[in-house]
Structure 1
Amino acid sequence: MSHKSIKLAAAIVNRGAGNRAAAIFHTYNHEILLAVRGHGTASSAVMDCLGLDEPEKDLVLGLSSKTGADRLLRALGREMEFCKPGHGIAFTLSLTGISFAAMDILSRHEDQTGPNSRPAEHKEDIPMTNSHSYELIASVIHTDLSAPVMEAARKAGCQGGTLIKAREIGSDAGKKLFGMTLSQEKAILLILTPTSLRAPILKSICETVMKETGEHAVAISLPVDAVEGLTG
């Protein structure tokens, strides 16, 4: 198995549904798991942008082969009912490298036969296709900027977002990055969006941060291979 065939799968669901999502990850042999809590906000602007009634989120991550990741996304969409608004989303990202230990675990799972390998579901071996190309935008912002930044992203076409609390690590000497003054308490804003909306959303985030703080925003985008739970 090559690292080029390994995918990082992520599911963002309402708080409390993470265990159920993790069980589906396990069923489809995604054994390397990480669960992260996404902290929402009471701001109506943010809740409107997310399109969800419950602002608290669970983020579940796992690694698998491409075939396993495709099956997982279908299973998550079906069993978690991602077709219904507010039930969650899932997506996969390609990896450019992986440690030997992680590759060894995944290779052993690929060789397994048994109830968890789902051999009877041959129809799920068909590669996933998407009518839209998506990207994941990640931006580091001050926690008190979540409402104006999300509102700006919504006006630029944002259909989904999740805030994860973060904390700066480093010495006092490294308090600036690209002209942005860094404080310890931060939020990582994750937005899954069609590629066509990446540029306007990134622009809106950067302009809002500059307007509110006079500083530059730190934001990146990553190509997404497949998506479950989003339309448009």
Structure 2
Amino acid sequence: MTDGNRLPRLKLMVTIIDRDKGALAVSLFRAHHLHFDYLCMGLGTASSRILDYFGLSETEKDVVFTLVPEPCVGKILRLTAEKFQIHRPGQGILFTVPLSAVSAQVPQVLCKKEYLAEDGAEEAENMEHTKQYTLVLAVVNHGSVDAVMDAARSEGARGGTVLYARRVGMEDMENVLGFTFQPEKEVVAILAPKTQKKALMEAINRSAGLTTEARGILFALPVDDLIGLQPPIDNGAGQE
């Protein structure tokens, strides 16, 4: 589990579930000594056809960011998936992102020997396409989500999650680029197969990149573990 006195690595686990369930997820994580949770309000962008298929009436989401010791990831993923029925269509998505560094005090809190011994190491079951997905993030001006998602769907993306943000301290960048930045931002997060990443980002950049009215900035993060992303729906309707 550990290499001598070296503490285990941490991963960032992202839980996307229906609005008002985020607090329940945080309670579950706290019961397993995970004390660093950040709850954001999000908005799903699935098409109406997919929403109808899943029987969903709205797309408001809670997005919970949680720091998890690597040896405990399998158990925490399993418990979360079971509690919120993540393996059922439309119930949510769980995934982890590797971290290269974190504040020194954080592993000391999360990786106490008694915590690791209690939770133990466990492989996550029914992991979907492990390490074959990437998380594409597009930070765009407020009101630009449709431009991002139209471009993303043209390359096979089925949906994403929107977080709302505000940009600060961009005066120097505005002077360099020669145009102003709208402070209100939308962060569109899209899980996509690695094989689609380049084409997906190029399509979004053409429609909502830095030189467009959306003033979008794109980047991608690796995904280690993934539960809840269902296979594409094929009902003969073809491309939307």
* TM-score, reference length from structure 2: 0.79
2:167, 2:185 within 8 Å by CA — same for their partners in 1?
yes
2:96 equivalent in structure 1: 92
2:114 equivalent in structure 1: 111
2:141 equivalent in structure 1: 142
Cα 1:47–1:127 change in 2 (3 A) is: closer
- Helix, strand or coil for the counterpart of 2:111? helix
- Helix, strand or coil for the counterpart of 1:60? strand
2:98, 2:223 within 8 Å by CA — same for their partners in 1?
yes
2:237 equivalent in structure 1: none
Deviation readout 1:55-88 (Å, 9 max, x if unpaired) = 2211111112112112111222221111222211
- 1:126 to 2:126 alignment: no
Please provide the CA RMSD for this pair. 2.9
- Which stretches of structure 1, 4 residues or more, deviate above 3 A after TM superposition? 1-4, 49-53, 127-132, 171-174, 176-181, 214-217
2:198 equivalent in structure 1: 199
2:28 equivalent in structure 1: 24
Alpha-carbon distance in structure 2 between the residues aligned to 1:171 and 1:222: 23
Structure 2 unaligned spans of 5+: 232-240
Deviation readout 1:107-164 (Å, 9 max, x if unpaired) = 22x42389xx356xxxx72356554511111111112111121122122111331111
> Identity over the aligned pairs, expressed in percent?
26
User: 1:172 Cα shift?
Assistant: 3.4
- Helix, strand or coil for the counterpart of 1:71? helix
1:56 equivalent in structure 2: 60
1:163, 1:190 within 8 Å by CA — same for their partners in 2?
yes
1:221 equivalent in structure 2: 220
- 1:33 to 2:37 alignment: yes
The code of the aligned residue for 2:228 comes to G
1:49, 1:154 within 8 Å by CA — same for their partners in 2?
no
2:14 equivalent in structure 1: 10
2:149, 2:159 within 8 Å by CA — same for their partners in 1?
no
More helix by share: 1
1:178, 1:216 within 8 Å by CA — same for their partners in 2?
no
Alpha-carbon distance in structure 1 between the residues aligned to 2:41 and 2:8: 29
- 1:73 to 2:72 alignment: no
Structure 1 unaligned spans of 5+: 41-45
* TM-score, reference length from structure 1: 0.82
